[in-house]
Amino acid sequence: MSKFKTLDDLGDVTGKVALVRVDLNLPMKDGSATDVTRVEAIKPTVLELAERGAKVLMLAHFGRPGGKRSSVLSTSMVVGDVEGVLGKELMFIPEVAGPVVEQSIGILRNGDIGLLDNTRFWPGEEANDADFAKAIAAHGDFFVNDAFSAAHRAHATTEGITHHLPAYAGRSMEAELKALDAALGNPQAPVAAVVGGAKVSSKLAVLENLVGRVQHLIIGGGMANTFLAARGVNVGKSLCEHDLTDTASRILDTADHAGCTVHLPYDVVVSKEFAANPPSLRTCNVHEVAEDEMILDIGASAAVALADVLKTCRTLVWNGPLGAFETEPFDAATVALARTAAALTQEGSLISVAGGGDTVAALAQAGVTGDVTYISTAGGAFLEWMEGKELPGVAALTA
Ligand code: ADP
Ligand code: MG
């Protein structure tokens, strides 16, 4: 990873205007946030800059207004929730550039925090319009990006603005970049990747990138069925992308040539219906799945074998649950492997980094959220990183 500047590289910021890109795209219900994890994530950066005497102006998008103002998608909707987490009052500024912003900066005292309106109200944001970026940048002395989750987009407030102001990674961005670098950039070998979830099609690029970079590729979830089918296994009525079996075979061949061992389950949990604790539930060898059965989790023996693989590894990167974990008991393998990963991490033998919406939920269900090295909540940006893509918002900080 090329080097990026952090808040440690900032000198005296007293009285300076910090433009800070944050992720305040909070899930809302009845006018308030149902989850404030994203605010918790930016809190250290925002409070540090305020405590160091800067005037902090937060830039954020909120939903998809499509380049037009919309009262329900104003960032003013989240002011109360953000104030609650930061423990400080915010000044809401209903613009992102121009005289209103300039006047507001005049009113802010050192250490005060302002929130600008939804950057996506202006078409220049998603178009990464140079003039738009320049107009925003004109208000600040420096730029801080603390929104890794928006870094896969080359937008005016994630990329364009860095052409006009010195740019720094915020604390949450810094932690994310360090964790991802330890997981995939410069990892300690052997490295294991767990890739699970519903479909091969949504994670093809991830699989293609990983086979050349990790020593062990553990494939679970619905996508394992497509790989099993590629190897001639009859998967009954399991979720399976039969049109992708050639692609799966090609990935298996690539892995073979790259010295990457692919681990597919050899026993599986099946049932005739998809329901909690169904009467037809059984565990069987992958070659014994009946025509009217579907695979909903990997089996206990396979899970033990995977735990043994992790014991020989130094690094683990995980995206995607091993089974249909939302429904009992198809979370068993995911929970078991998550607990093994957590225990090895706590013993100091494994660096474990996980991400993905359902993966984060599954690890929480296993009760290991605090026991793995790092959990990324960045969704799309995390997956693009797993695909080996350069993220424009990150590249702009490391240029
Ligand atoms: P993430 O959000 O972590 O990237 P995905 O969205 O790719 O993960 O996949 C999660 C989904 O995959 C879950 O809803 C889970 O129920 C489903 N899934 C996992 N294994 C199976 C399976 N064997 N059959 C059907 N669905 C599965
Ligand atoms: Mg998902």
| The pLDDT value given to residue 1 | 64
Find the ligand nearest to 382 CA. Answer: 1
Does the pTM surpass 0.75? The reply is yes
Active site residue 114: no
> Which pLDDT score is estimated for 325?
97
Cα atoms in the 13 Å half-sphere on the side-chain side of 18 = 34
Instruction: Identify the active-site residue in 84, 357, 379, 388.
Output: 357
* Residue 380 annotated among the catalytic residues of the structure: yes
Q: Which two tokens stand for residue 215?
A: 């020593």
The catalytic residue among 63, 111, 379, 380 is: 380
Model pLDDT, residue 33: 96
pLDDT means per 10 residues, the chain with 399 residues, are 90 98 96 94 98 98 97 97 98 98 98 98 98 98 98 98 98 96 95 95 94 97 97 97 97 97 97 97 98 98 98 98 98 98 98 95 97 94 95 93
Q: Which ligand has an atom closest to residue 325 CA?
A: 1
Residue 348's φ and ψ, nearest 5 degrees, are 90, 10
* 237 among known catalytic residues: no
Does residue 52 carry a catalytic annotation? no
Cα radius of gyration rounded to whole Å, the chain: 23
Which residues have CB atoms below 5 A from the ion given as ligand 2? 357-358
Question: Ligand 1 center to residue 280 CA distance, Å?
Answer: 21
As beta bridge partners, residue 20 has 58, 144
* Cβ–ligand 1 contact at 170 (below 6 Å): no
Ligand 1 atom closest to residue 362's alpha carbon, by position in its atom list: 3
Ligand 2 centroid–CA 341 distance in Å is: 21
- What atom of ligand 1 comes closest to residue 355's alpha carbon? 3
Does residue 299 line the site of ligand 1, with CB under 6 A? no
CA distance linking residue 131 with residue 167, whole number of Å: 18
Alpha helices in 315-356 (DSSP H): 332-347
- Note the pLDDT of residue 399: 72
Please state whether the peptide bond connecting residue 279 to the residue before it is cis, i.e. omega within 30 degrees of 0. Answer: no
